[in-house]
Structure 1
Amino acid sequence: MSDGSDGKAERVVRRGRPTGDRAAKRAELLKAAASVIAQEGYANASLRRVAQRAGCTTGAVTYYFANKEELVTALAESRFDAYEAMLEAGRATADIRAVFEEWLTLITGDPEFLPVMFQLLAHARHEPAFAALIERRYARYRQANTDILACGQEQGVIRDDIPADLLSDQLSAMGDGWMMMYPFEPERFTPERLRSLVDAAVTLISPVSPPAGSKPK
């Protein structure tokens, strides 16, 4: 009669430590999770479906992420990391257009970026712990954006008749609105129209010119 040790040893072998670059494998699994969420919705993004999309076993997924919540949390963090990296483009020079250009590159280079963020924000409404993560990372993003805008105001390249934090909220609201509607009306958000929207946003936050013929104060 077997004591089960052989079966246990077999399980250990099957679930042994994966070989290769850990960071690269995590990134591959996050990409697979994003693809499933974008195409099939958050509710259908089980670890099994992510494993299938990545071409690996569910056990390989659970080696890096204990459960779906841990996987989704890592995905959200990676998305906000991308936002913060985007802001670095304009931090040194207070060039808000450069920030927008990086944003365009981000979302046009990855057509799943906006649908995934939409799904994650919708999920956060029903998960307090996940909502707290979104709130914390959004606050960091808005503050960094506010700092860039405030610097631009000091340099005279951003309108200063509206506080920088309000401008940051307005820009965030516009971006969130585009993200919300993208899954429903993707035809409205062609690369050309997105660029036009960005140009309009830059115009809205540019210094206000005095009316023609008016005398300077």
Structure 2
Amino acid sequence: MLTQNSPEDPALPARPARGPGRPVGDHEEKRAELLAAATKVIAEHGFAKTSLRKVAERAGYTTGAVTYYFANKGDLVLALAESRFDRFDKLLDSVAPEADIRTLVQRWFEMSVGEPEFSIVMSQLLANLQFDAKLKDTLVRRYADYRARFAEIVREGQRRGTIRDDIPAAVLADQIGAMGDGFAVVTPLELQDFGPERIDEILDGVIRLLAPVGNG
């Protein structure tokens, strides 16, 4: 496990703690650094044991500097949840023009294998929905938007003739999403079983399952 400000952690380079008040530098860059630090703290210590103080220590800031961006832990967690779905939206943006489902599933693997903390944090956030109404509302809203966009991408693939059309697009989108979620849970636990060749085999299988009837 990497220690605070470890030089082996490229996402969080070592830096001296700053004084109280606004951190020096670009606002969005510093905010992103704090969200990256929060991701690591939650992945290592769990949601319940995460605090603004721990996040500040991990990022090399004072707690006061963290509260400049996030008033409290709830505010920080909401921002972290939004940032997770912002990444999902960018992923959908990248595959939407060609309805490229293979690339979509491949990117899921890349996040699961290359960024296991991503899946851990999402699991921690989901586990806390019943205790945080604002977090629940945020995730329900963002996930509904995500599912609707995903279904439209599948629908476009059906119009292009690259995805089977004997199953409703919304149903197929949910099935693909469930596969992606499953990979996100399993691959961090069994990284040795998901090398490049294995991932290619799985991707080929997904595409065959989605191929128009008579073309699989």
TM-score band by shorter chain is 0.7 to 0.9
CA distance 1:194–1:210, change in 2 (3 Å)? closer
* TM-score, with length taken from structure 2: 0.82
Aligned-residue CA RMSD (Å): 2.1
The 2-side partners of 1:171 and 1:210 are apart by 19
1:31-46 aligned within 5 A = 31-46=36-51
The 1-side partners of 2:118 and 2:50 are apart by 16
Q: Which amino acid aligns with 1:34?
A: T
The 2-side partners of 1:93 and 1:204 are apart by 18
Q: Which amino acid aligns with 2:74?
A: E
Q: Which amino acid aligns with 2:132?
A: E
The 2-side partners of 1:102 and 1:182 are apart by 13
The 2-side partners of 1:140 and 1:192 are apart by 33
For residue 136 of structure 1, what is the aligned residue in structure 2? 141
1:52-106 C-alpha deviation (Å, 9 max, x unpaired): 1111111111111000011011011011000010011211111211222333333
1:110-143 C-alpha deviation (Å, 9 max, x unpaired): 2311111111111123322211111111111111
Q: Which amino acid aligns with 2:48?
A: A
For residue 166 of structure 1, what is the aligned residue in structure 2? 171
The 1-side partners of 2:97 and 2:215 are apart by 29
Q: Which amino acid aligns with 1:207?
A: P
Larger RCO: 1 or 2 (CA < 8 Å, sep 6+): 2
For residue 11 of structure 2, what is the aligned residue in structure 1? none
* TM-score, with length taken from structure 1: 0.82
1:57 aligns with 2:62: yes
1:197-216 aligned within 5 A = 197-209=202-214
For residue 5 of structure 1, what is the aligned residue in structure 2? none
Q: Which amino acid aligns with 2:151?
A: T
The 1-side partners of 2:37 and 2:197 are apart by 28
1:88 aligns with 2:88: no
Aligned residue for 2:124, secondary structure, equals: helix
Q: Flag structure 1 segments of 5+ consecutive residues without an equivalent.
A: 1-13, 212-217
CA distance 1:21–1:143, change in 2 (3 Å)? same
For residue 78 of structure 1, what is the aligned residue in structure 2? 83
Measured after TM superposition, the shift of residue 187 of structure 1 is: 5.0
Q: Flag structure 2 segments of 5+ consecutive residues without an equivalent.
A: 1-18
Report if the CA contact (8 A) 1:153-1:159 is conserved: yes
Choose 1 or 2 for highest CA Rg.
1
Q: Which amino acid aligns with 1:25?
A: K
1:89-104 aligned within 5 A = 89-104=94-109
Aligned residue for 1:44, secondary structure, equals: coil
1:135-157 C-alpha deviation (Å, 9 max, x unpaired): 11111111111111001001110
Q: Which has the larger displacement, 68-77 or 171-180?
A: 171-180
Measured after TM superposition, the shift of residue 191 of structure 1 is: 5.5
For residue 21 of structure 2, what is the aligned residue in structure 1? 16
The 1-side partners of 2:70 and 2:46 are apart by 19
Measured after TM superposition, the shift of residue 200 of structure 1 is: 2.5
Report if the CA contact (8 A) 2:23-2:30 is conserved: no
Q: Which amino acid aligns with 2:81?
A: A
Report if the CA contact (8 A) 1:159-1:208 is conserved: yes
1:187-210 C-alpha deviation (Å, 9 max, x unpaired): 555555444433322222121227
Aligned residue for 1:78, secondary structure, equals: helix
The alignment-based identity, stated in percent, is 50
CA distance 1:190–1:113, change in 2 (3 Å)? farther
